[in-house]
Amino acid sequence: MRKIRLGSSDLEVPVVAIGCMRINQLQPRQAEEFVQTALDLGANFFDHADIYGDGACEEIFAQAIHMNEQVREKVILQSKCGIRRDCYDFSKEHILNSVDGILRRLRTDYLDVLLLHRPDALVEPEEVAEAFDLLQSKGKVKYFGVSNHKPMQIELLKKFVKQPVVANQLQLSIMHAHMIANGMHVNMDVPAAYDRDGSVLDYCRLHDITIQPWSPFLYGFFEGVFVGNEKFPVLNAKMDEIAARYGVSSTTIAIAWLLRHPARMQPVIGTTNLQRLKDSVKAAEVHLTREEWYEIYLAAGNTLP
């Protein structure tokens, strides 16, 4: 598996991350097969969150991988915290308690990466800084990042947090490419020009923050998968055409499209389907041409000015 450096850290990670949000939908033996298949493919970066299955996904993962000290050395674990029922919480107390719970469920002494899950309107960055310092000094977390954050929200954190922000997990796919579109429709009075995220794509590139696209196969906000979906005949015809050219599946092309971007992203795939897992990992070996990338972009209904 091809690797990249995660943000400004010294951590080398696979270019495809394995999201574990749906692992609780698998039977124990299926979960074991899923995790082992990922490891066999060189995809040893696993993304979690304490909200996934109310913590059950982390427990199931630890059971499926038969977590022990030897296994722990072979995997890279990332989890997220900050979402509670009916509110978000970046308080020092909640972050510390959340990490203790995550570590207990994953049966490990430390996380490689901790992300703040969704922006808390009541965030007090001084408290976040205190929590991060404690977690780092106690060896419970090595690196820190955010998820679904805009540039100014990151800047506010950075005013107090001394650890570098190494990753920002953002929704991005061929069918959800607003952050790419607005960068091309500059100074135009069209919907594609609307800057919904404060130029977060360029910001992350400028500050060595790895973008981790989540839901790389979905359109809308959890509305469904676009790959093979009859609602998008033009896009799927184009992906099928290019997939045949490379001898891979359209699933592979959907991930390869993200990996072709020079931002050096790390897509997080949330599938539990073994074939889709294998097809996704193959994207690390496919390098689309500039023309192919734009053909797919336009086939998805995007426009150029």
Locate the domains of the chain by residue range.
3-299
What is the mean predicted confidence (pLDDT) over 227-246?
97
One-letter amino acid identity for 70?
A: Q
- The pLDDT of residue 221 is above 90: no
Query: What are 161's two structure tokens?
Result: 């947090």
Mention every residue, 6+ apart, whose C-beta is less than 8 A from residue 39: 65, 74, 75
101-112 burial string, b = 16+ CB within 10 Å, else e?
ebbebbbbebbb
Q: What is the pLDDT of residues 97-119, one digit of tens each?
A: 999 999 999 999 999 999 999 99
Confidence class of residue 223 from pLDDT cuts 50, 70 and 90? confident
Per-residue pLDDT of 134-181, as tens digits, reads: 999 999 999 999 999 999 999 999 999 999 999 999 999 999 999 999
The three-state secondary structure class of 131 is helix
Position 88 scores a pLDDT of 98
* pLDDT tens per residue, range 85-94: 899 999 999 9
Q: Look up the CATH number of domain 3-299.
A: 3.20.20.100
What integer best gives the mean pLDDT of the chain? Answer: 97
Using DSSP bridges, classify how beta strands 218-219 and 76-81 pair: parallel, antiparallel or unpaired: unpaired
Query: What tokens does 32 get?
Result: 């074991």
Query: pLDDT class for 222, splitting at 50, 70, 90?
Result: confident
